[in-house]
Amino acid sequence: MNVPRVVIAGTHSGAGKTTVALGLMAAFRRAGLRVQPFKVGPDYIDPGLHAAAAGRPSRNLDSWMLPEGTLLSLFRCAAAGAEVAVIEGVMGLYDGYSGRGDAGSTAHVAKLLGAPVILVVDASGAVRSVAATVLGFRELDREVRLAGVICNLAGGPRHREWLREAVEEVGVPFLGALPRVEGGSIPERHLGLVPASERQYREVLDRLALAVREYVEWERVLAVARQAPPLPSGGGPEMPLRTPRVRIGVARDRAFSFYYEDALDVLRASGAELFFFSPLEDGDLPDGVSGLYLGGGFPEVYAAELEANRPMREAIRTAAEAGMPVYAECGGLMYLCRRLRTSEGRSYEMAGVFPYETVMGRRVRAIGYVEVEAERPTCLLARGERARGHEFHWSSLPAGVAETAYRMVEGFGLDGRRDGLVHRNVLASYVHLHLAAVPHAARRFVDACEAFALWR
């Protein structure tokens, strides 16, 4: 299988790779190409922006959480039928799980996929020093094919020409220099960029596409992507869709939008029919569901609206007390607790499945990769099983939480030692799992939902 593909990497977080990646996706799409977007790492927000730009769901490629064969299989499946795949990196090109190697990094994914890399460099206040930066990135790992450079935040025509001269002096193709794009920025808040589920970005994407077509040699970028070799052989087993045997409700709206598309596909492949609902706007759960999946998001931003929807809160609490399997991650955990206190000190009533109040802090509480070991059987894991994931939360729970599901092998969780609230068939955790990395957990959850459907 041969898929034209290119990795858009940065020298560091904030260098402009999202700006360049979105601009290229939008420009390619406007040129009539079928564009498949991807995001390296455990990000939930950028993929939503990708989907708005490319018109296709974006997929996460995380080489620390996902086995290499699984990553290759997911890429092949998602890229089938696409005319170009644009893969946005994470952090800097070589940043990943640790400083000791490239696991989890953009460089690692680029090598696994045999994909050429275009490096985005913040050129504000620099000229020839950009060449030194590019040279270092090229020489650190020669297995990474550095196929070109795009400068971001460039000045006027003279600055852009000097940047071209400097980069070409070290033998790397110069593919353009974007100035600051007026009206082309995505607003930010405490977890990063504001998701596409909450705003319309058509005008922003139009501006980025126009800027890329004017200041970037986007057709040369496309030529680079088309020079990618056939995909490496190997990979994990495919996930054929099966006849649905159970219905699962998935909370998806402005407050809850953090889901990996491949995780949803794994649930479908395990026999689930997914029904999306809104804890903000719907008055009841979808008909006939026998399980619930509450992902992460921003319940703290919409706490007043969630509190106001009392019928939904009561429906979820009633379902949990009846023994329905419920799996919740981060924002979902906050919603399942008794109350949520914002960083401004306002407290709001939530679903009340757990008798705790979560409290939003003014700085990040925990961020990074985690590994957990199940200390008790739950609707996801058997006792002793391990799973890798990611955490990024500003909230905390009070000390004295009784039963928990996980021992933290690595990461912070609730308190640096434990994570996972448990009540009947409910599991709520700060850990975001990529179910494609632990498909047996998805099957266990679907099995639990089926057992509940037969029992009731």
Among candidate residues 388, 399, 397, the one with its CA nearest the CA of residue 431: 388
Q: Which of 356, 421, 429 lies closest to 387, judged by CA?
A: 429
Q: Element (H or E) spanning 8, and its range? A: strand 5-10
- CA–CA–CA angle 101, 102, 108 (5° rounding): 155
3-state secondary structure of 306: helix
Residue that the structure tokens 């996460």 belong to: 60
2's tokens: 């041969």
What are 310's two structure tokens?
Answer: 């009392």
Q: Which parts of 255-357 fold into alpha helices (H)?
A: 261-269, 303-308, 310-321, 331-336
**Partners of 35 in beta bridges:** 84
Q: Is 337 a catalytic residue?
A: no
Q: What is the CA radius of gyration of the chain?
A: 23
Spatial distance between the Cα atoms of 71 and 77, rounded to a whole number of angstroms: 10
Q: Which two structure tokens, joined as six digits, stand for 437?
A: 């990395």
Tokens of 354: 């757990």
Per-residue tokens: 344: 């401004």
Catalytic residue (one of 151, 330, 337, 449): 330
- Residues belonging to the active site: 330
